[in-house]
């Protein structure tokens, strides 16, 4: 069965047997809005319609191009221009060449002029004129528009590009209703023309004649004979060919088949036409087209359509349409899904989940029977207890609790009657004097900036009408998209704050680094009420301003914001914990007030303080409010922080389909208790993890929790990753380990390519929540040059936040995040097979190298033999596989950061160097291959060049041990800091010890400081693309021919932004592009351009080296 609407029926191409009376009117309505046409056409009306469009620009170009055309075509063009400039219809007959030229020159549209041709001179003439137009090619197709002129050339090359689709549609509509003599006359014209026509135009002619099936078959066979050639209008054959031919055509062409073609297929072939749509979806070059095709397919209620849609469940564009179809046709869907579910792989898993969804949604709904209103209500009915939760499905307590099952899973709090909360109303906050938190020198700098701005306001010409506060306020009110900091430039506080309060928040953009400090510096605490009001709709920005105000009101605002926005939680939570006493002063009265969202937010924030070790302070502040308040605050139970309406578990969250949870005490968690655990995880998308999770983590084995969470996550993905159920992804943050972090990081790298940027952002939050060194290492890798800016910037924010929390720089944090990979202190690892053992070390690229007991280097860890312990050998191979994977993930970043440290001349404090470099079992493999410089500040200061010797000591070029004090600093020396003798001597030392460096240090190519830019160098396209992975940013989202990079200065030289221009540029989405020539290199210092010599010698040399390829 096919679902038809009046709109879809009007799209079906007519035949003479079934003329489809609504087709031609729908075509004309779509294209003749300026001058509506009706069939049959009136000459005067059609002529007016053909002139309804302004073509003066095209006529001017045609006039400019007359001199470039051949003599014959120049005469045709002149007549076509004159014809187009007429003010009244001509009395004489139309000329085919002239009319065709008006279309080819684009001084008339086919959809407007074809009706005029038909009205004036008939369908046969219109057919010949339209065919002739295809044989005239406008010059801009080959020569471009740059000359401002256009002329015609004899060529069929234009036939695939001419905007003639609607012209052929109109011809078909007219021929479908033409009487026999007219149809035969038009057919004779077509037969005369067809032998000389290229295939694309023969296909269009075959389409225009509804009854000429032989013409369609001939054109289709020609397509199959030349499958690699573009044939213009051949896609119309799909709508007119027999079923087998149409399916074969659709499968062989990466073309867009609009809904008109596809609905016509369904009208001709019924539900069997779904095969053609399925073939078109397979051949479609992108998901946008697949989605359009699927929108037609969902109108077919047939097993074939269900099977096709089921096969596209893994496709992000088609899957939502498929699921909607399955819900509407569950019986059709069940057969298709069962067939897929019987297989293996991710599609089978998705089909299984869809089947479970069908079973859940199609089963009878539980609920109370509607009362009989004709009878009086019984006393029993009146006293029936009220359900605690109408959202969640009925569940029950765990019937047979095994030993070690946590209490929260035995008797979940949400199934019990909730105790009545203690309410103490009318409590006023303790007195507290608010203040603004200024950094040292910040307020003075802002006041100085404000004074300079005030002086400039009257001096600038553009501010002549805004020289006073009143005039500036009026000017601001008339604008849109204003920087919010201007509120801080109006010195009259009352006027400024009234203006800010009166204008809608959408009028402003904040510029968070500047706006709020400027406002607070000018207007002080008077701005706080308006700032809080502004935060109600712009919280993600306003938190930066609120965080500067130390007051109980800020605590109240942050408690509310953190419940609504996960994106700001790092700011709100840090502030609430750092200012715990102020937080408690502001929130204790709310936490014992009337039940509702405000109380819940306050309770959650106070529980956050307890979780972060500030519980005693909370109790102390509560005691200052009185004994009753202290008891009420102490009675806040984190297990009862539940939503008023519990969520309903989706079909993919099914305990029976997930790995068992193993108890540390032995045995497994019963299935009904595992369902309760899923409910706890579903509560995890709140301001803090549900408190009961801690009980489960303590009771269950980490491995089983990890496997349970990953399987749940995979089922969420298989269900289409519904955003409303993102808690299944967040669960990895509560239950994941290093292995989960590595798996998830791989997914995050892929998701942006699938247009799942929001999911990738949540994934970063999950890695941060896991919080292990491996997890944060993956976040750091994403922060270092990941292609997608939003993900890269979010990762950088996480790293900066964690570094700040630990009182470290981002570089110092990365030192501490480098994993040891389970290596021994000497940087090796032994893999024991029972009878044999193998020791693994690392080469200059941090690739693992296997050595046998006798020291021989092996290509790989050998296979087990009969003499080996099978279990130990199997475990060793699993560990070896994991080591190789982890080393590959770590190596590239560690080598890159050491090279970056050399270029930036980073210096480590000696204790940090000893702990995180020299003694690190993995990093030491790199450090031993480099030349270091120890800098001391004693006396006049000194520099000593050293390497890390085999025994871990520091040695100079003569292999003499070098001692160093804790006050010294050490860094990787850049070759520009060495003289020729030092380079030669240390090169010989490394050669003597057969040390290969992980990157060019001593042999590094360098460039002397100058203003030379290196323009004119040609680089391979792949290398230019790779620059984005090394800190360069593109200037466009689709086409790139400019890259920029911020470069730090050195030797007291200022840093700046280097701008590099390339030609011809490349497309971001296209994997293939031409070599790129550097055409310009410039340095921007603030708003000024400067020569590259303004950079320090190392920064300049490294820039030139990078741009040399």
Q: How far apart are CA 829 and CA 921, in angstroms?
A: 10
| Tokens at 451, concatenated | 């004074």
Cα dihedral value 1020, 1026, 1031, 1034, nearest 10:
70
Whether the CB-CB separation of 659 and 711 falls below 8 Å is answered with yes
pLDDT confidence bin for 820, thresholds 50/70/90: confident
| Residue the block writes with tokens 């009026």 | 474
* Torsion sign (Cα): 815, 821, 822, 825: negative
Cα dihedral value 152, 157, 163, 166, nearest 10:
120
Q: Give the distance, in angstroms, between the CA of residue 1003 and the centroid of all CA atoms in the same chain.
A: 41
Least confident of 271-285, 462-476, 876-890, 943-957: 462-476
DSSP string across 1040-1075: EEEEEEEE---TTPPPEEEEEEEEEEEESS-S----
| Alpha-helical regions (H) of 226-382 | 237-240, 243-252, 259-269, 274-283, 287-297, 303-311, 319-328, 330-341, 346-362, 379-382
Q: Report pLDDT for 378.
A: 40
* pLDDT of 927 above 90: yes
DSSP string across 741-769: HHHHHHHHHHGGGGT-HHHHHHHHHHHHH
- The bridge status of strand 152-154 relative to strand 136-138 is antiparallel
Whether the CB-CB separation of 1107 and 1014 falls below 8 Å is answered with yes
pLDDT confidence bin for 998, thresholds 50/70/90: very high
The mean pLDDT value for 920-937 works out to 92
The mean pLDDT value for 862-880 works out to 90
Q: Identify the bridge partners of residue 1047 per DSSP, sorted by sequence position.
A: 1056
pLDDT confidence bin for 386, thresholds 50/70/90: very low
Nearest C-alpha neighbor of 766 from the set 789, 750, 743: 743
* Torsion sign (Cα): 848, 851, 857, 862: negative
The mean pLDDT value for 78-107 works out to 89
> Percent of the chain at pLDDT above 90?
42
* Torsion sign (Cα): 686, 688, 693, 695: negative
pLDDT confidence bin for 368, thresholds 50/70/90: very low
Least confident of 294-308, 957-971, 983-997, 1055-1069: 1055-1069
pLDDT confidence bin for 390, thresholds 50/70/90: very low
Whether the CB-CB separation of 652 and 356 falls below 8 Å is answered with yes
The mean pLDDT value for 803-822 works out to 86
The mean pLDDT value for 211-238 works out to 78
CB atoms within 10 A of CB 158: 20
Q: Report pLDDT for 370.
A: 41
* pLDDT of 391 above 50: no
The mean pLDDT value for 132-155 works out to 73
Least confident of 169-178, 422-431, 639-648, 744-753: 639-648
* pLDDT of 731 above 60: yes
Helix (H, G, I), strand (E, B) or coil at 19: coil
Least confident of 425-439, 646-660, 882-896, 972-986: 882-896
Q: How far apart are CA 357 and CA 330, in angstroms?
A: 10
* pLDDT of 464 above 60: no
Q: How far apart are CA 899 and CA 428, in angstroms?
A: 59
Least confident of 125-129, 193-197, 330-334, 453-457: 453-457
Q: Report pLDDT for 37.
A: 79
DSSP E strand stretches across 146-201: 152-154
Whether the CB-CB separation of 262 and 293 falls below 8 Å is answered with yes
Mean pLDDT of the chain: 85
| Tokens at 543, concatenated | 């938190």
Helix (H, G, I), strand (E, B) or coil at 242: coil
Whether the CB-CB separation of 257 and 235 falls below 8 Å is answered with yes
Distant-in-sequence contacts of 260-264, Cβ < 8 A, 24+ apart: 260/11, 260/12, 260/13, 261/235, 261/236, 262/293, 262/296, 262/297, 263/8, 263/9, 263/11, 263/12, 263/296, 264/11, 264/12, 264/13, 264/239, 264/240
Query: Bigger pLDDT: 366 or 244?
Result: 244
Query: Bigger pLDDT: 899 or 568?
Result: 899
Q: How far apart are CA 1109 and CA 1104, in angstroms?
A: 9
CA distance between the termini of the chain: 62
Q: Report pLDDT for 555.
A: 95
Q: How far apart are CA 177 and CA 182, in angstroms?
A: 10
| Tokens at 282, concatenated | 């397979």
What are the CA-CA distances from residue 860 to residues 65, 848, 871, 922, 1093 (Å)? 72, 9, 19, 19, 50
H/E element holding 550? strand 549-550
Q: Report pLDDT for 659.
A: 94
My answer on whether omega of the bond before 245 falls inside 30° of 0, hence cis, is no
Helix (H, G, I), strand (E, B) or coil at 330: helix
Rg from Cα positions in the chain: 38
| Tokens at 663, concatenated | 């108890």
**Angle formed by the axes of helices 870-903 and 1097-1107, to 10°?**
120
* pLDDT of 866 above 50: yes
What are the CA-CA distances from residue 263 to residues 390, 441, 1103 (Å)? 44, 71, 59
In tens, the pLDDT along 671-725 reads 999 999 999 999 876 557 888 999 999 999 999 999 999 999 999 998 888 888 9
* pLDDT of 512 above 50: no
Whether the CB-CB separation of 544 and 572 falls below 8 Å is answered with no
Within a 13 Å sphere around the CA of 415, how many CA atoms are in the beta-carbon half?
A: 18
Least confident of 326-340, 511-525, 529-543, 804-818: 511-525
Q: Report pLDDT for 255.
A: 65
Nearest C-alpha neighbor of 845 from the set 721, 673, 996, 665: 996
CB atoms within 10 A of CB 579: 20
Q: Identify the bridge partners of residue 592 per DSSP, sorted by sequence position.
A: none
Residues 6+ positions from 1002 with CB-CB distance below 8 Å: 931, 975, 978, 983, 986, 987, 990
Within a 13 Å sphere around the CA of 22, how many CA atoms are in the beta-carbon half?
A: 8
């Amino acid at each position: 069965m096919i679902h038809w609407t009046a709109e879809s029926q009007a799209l079906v191409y007519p035949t003479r047997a079934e003329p489809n009376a609504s087709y031609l009117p729908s075509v004309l309505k779509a294209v003749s809005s300026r001058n509506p046409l009706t069939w049959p056409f009136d000459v005067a009306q059609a002529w007016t319609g053909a002139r309804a469009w302004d073509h003066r620009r095209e006529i001017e170009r045609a006039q400019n191009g007359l001199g470039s055309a051949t003599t014959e075509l120049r005469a045709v063009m002149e007549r076509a221009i004159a014809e187009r400039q007429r003010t009244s219809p001509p009395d004489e007959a139309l000329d085919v060449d002239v009319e065709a030229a008006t279309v080819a020159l684009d001084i008339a549209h086919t959809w407007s002029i074809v009706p005029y041709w038909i009205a004036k001179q008939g369908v046969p003439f219109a057919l010949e004129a339209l065919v002739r137009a295809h044989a005239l090619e406008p010059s801009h197709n080959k020569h471009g528009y740059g000359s401002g002129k256009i002329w015609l050339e004899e060529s069929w090359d234009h036939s695939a590009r001419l905007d003639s689709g609607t012209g052929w549609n109109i011809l078909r509509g007219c021929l479908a209703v033409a009487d026999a003599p007219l149809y035969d006359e038009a057919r004779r014209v077509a037969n005369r023309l067809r032998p000389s026509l290229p295939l694309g135009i023969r296909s269009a002619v075959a389409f225009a004649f509804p009854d000429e099936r032989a013409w369609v078959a001939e054109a289709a066979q020609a397509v199959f004979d030349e499958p690699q050639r573009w044939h213009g209008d051949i896609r119309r054959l799909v709508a007119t060919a027999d079923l087998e031919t149409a399916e074969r055509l659709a499968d062989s062409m990466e073309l867009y088949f609009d809904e008109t073609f596809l609905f016509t297929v369904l009208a001709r072939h019924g539900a069997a036409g779904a095969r053609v749509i399925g073939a078109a979806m397979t051949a479609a070059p992108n998901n946008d087209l697949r989605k359009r095709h699927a929108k037609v397919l969902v109108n077919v209620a047939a097993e074939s359509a269900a099977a096709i849609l089921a096969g596209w469940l893994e496709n992000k564009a088609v899957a939502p349409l498929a699921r909607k179809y399955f819900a509407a046709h569950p019986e059709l869907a069940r057969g298709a899904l069962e067939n897929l579910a019987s297989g293996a792989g991710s599609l089978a898993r998705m089909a299984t989940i869809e089947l479970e969804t069908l079973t859940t949604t199609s089963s009878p709904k539980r609920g109370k029977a509607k009362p009989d209103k004709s009878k009086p209500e019984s006393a029993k009915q009146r006293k029936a207890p009220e359900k605690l939760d109408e959202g969640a499905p009925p569940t029950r307590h765990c019937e047979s609790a095994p030993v070690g099952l946590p209490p929260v899973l035995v008797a979940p709090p949400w199934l019990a009657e909730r105790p009545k909360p203690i309410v103490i109303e009318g409590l006023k906050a303790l007195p507290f004097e608010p203040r603004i938190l200024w950094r040292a020198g910040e307020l003075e700098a802002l006041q100085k900036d404000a004074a300079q701005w005030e002086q400039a306001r009257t001096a600038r010409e553009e501010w002549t009408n805004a020289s006073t506060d009143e005039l500036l306020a009026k000017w601001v009110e008339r604008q849109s998209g204003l920087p919010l900091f201007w509120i801080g430039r109006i010195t009259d506080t009352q006027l400024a704050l009234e203006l800010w309060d009166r204008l809608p928040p959408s009028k402003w953009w904040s510029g968070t680094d500047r706006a709020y400090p400027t406002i607070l510096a000018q207007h002080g605490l008077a701005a706080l009420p308006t700032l809080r009001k502004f935060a109600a709709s712009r919280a993600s920005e306003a938190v930066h301003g609120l965080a500067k105000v130390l007051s109980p009101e800020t605590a109240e605002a942050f408690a509310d914001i953190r419940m609504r926005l996960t994106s700001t939680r790092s700011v709100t939570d840090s502030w609430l914990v750092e200012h715990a006493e102020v937080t408690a002063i502001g929130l204790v009265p709310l936490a014992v007030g009337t039940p509702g969202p405000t109380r819940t937010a306050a309770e959650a924030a106070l529980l956050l303080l307890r979780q972060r070790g500030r519980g005693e302070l909370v109790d102390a502040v509560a005691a200052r409010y009185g004994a009753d308040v202290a008891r009420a605050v102490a009675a806040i139970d984190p297990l009862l922080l539940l939503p008023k309406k519990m969520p309903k578990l989706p079909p993919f969250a099914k305990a029976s389909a997930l790995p068992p949870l193993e108890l540390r005490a032995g045995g497994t968690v019963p299935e009904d208790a595992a369902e309760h655990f899923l409910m706890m995880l579903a509560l995890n998308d709140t301001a803090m993890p549900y408190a009961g999770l801690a009980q489960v983590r303590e009771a269950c084995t980490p491995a089983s929790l990890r496997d349970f969470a990953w399987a749940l996550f995979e089922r969420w993905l298989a269900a289409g990753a519904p955003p409303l159920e993102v808690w299944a992804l967040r669960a990895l943050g509560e239950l994941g380990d290093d292995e989960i972090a590595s798996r998830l990081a791989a997914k995050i790298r892929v998701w942006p390519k699938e247009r799942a940027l929001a999911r990738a952002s949540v994934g970063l939050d999950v890695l941060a929540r896991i919080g292990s060194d491996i997890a944060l290492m993956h976040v750091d890798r994403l922060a270092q040059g990941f292609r997608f800016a939003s993900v890269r910037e979010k990762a950088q924010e996480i790293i900066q936040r964690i570094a700040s929390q630990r009182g470290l720089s981002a570089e110092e944090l990365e030192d501490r995040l480098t994993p040891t990979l389970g290596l021994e202190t000497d940087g090796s690892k032994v893999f024991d097979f029972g009878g044999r053992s193998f020791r693994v070390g690392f080469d200059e690229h941090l690739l693992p190298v296997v050595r046998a007991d006798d020291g021989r280097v092996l290509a790989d860890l050998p296979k087990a033999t009969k003499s080996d312990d099978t279990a130990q050998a199997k475990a060793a191979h699993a560990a070896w596989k994991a080591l190789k994977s982890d080393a590959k993930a770590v190596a590239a970043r560690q080598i890159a950061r050491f090279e970056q440290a050399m270029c930036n001349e980073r210096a480590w404090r000696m204790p940090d160097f000893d702990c995180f470099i020299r003694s690190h079992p993995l990093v030491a493999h790199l450090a031993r291959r480099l030349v270091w410089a120890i800098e001391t500040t004693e006396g006049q200061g000194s520099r000593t060049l050293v390497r890390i010797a085999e025994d871990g000591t520091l040695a100079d070029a003569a292999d003499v041990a070098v001692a160093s004090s804790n006050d010294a600093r050490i860094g990787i020396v850049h070759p520009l800091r060495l003289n020729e003798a030092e380079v030669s001597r240390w090169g010989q030392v490394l050669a003597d010890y057969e040390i290969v460096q992980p990157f060019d240090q001593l042999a590094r190519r360098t460039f002397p400081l100058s203003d030379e830019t290196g323009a004119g160098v040609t680089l391979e396209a792949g290398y230019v693309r790779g620059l984005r992975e090394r800190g360069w940013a593109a200037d466009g989202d689709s086409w790139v021919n400019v890259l920029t990079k911020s470069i730090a200065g050195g030797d007291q030289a200022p840093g700046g932004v280097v701008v590099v221009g390339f030609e011809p540029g490349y497309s971001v989405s296209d994997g293939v592009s031409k070599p790129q020539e550097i055409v310009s290199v410039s340095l921007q210092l603030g708003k000024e351009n400067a020569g590259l010599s303004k950079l320090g010698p190392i920064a300049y040399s490294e820039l030139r080296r990078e741009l040399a390829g």
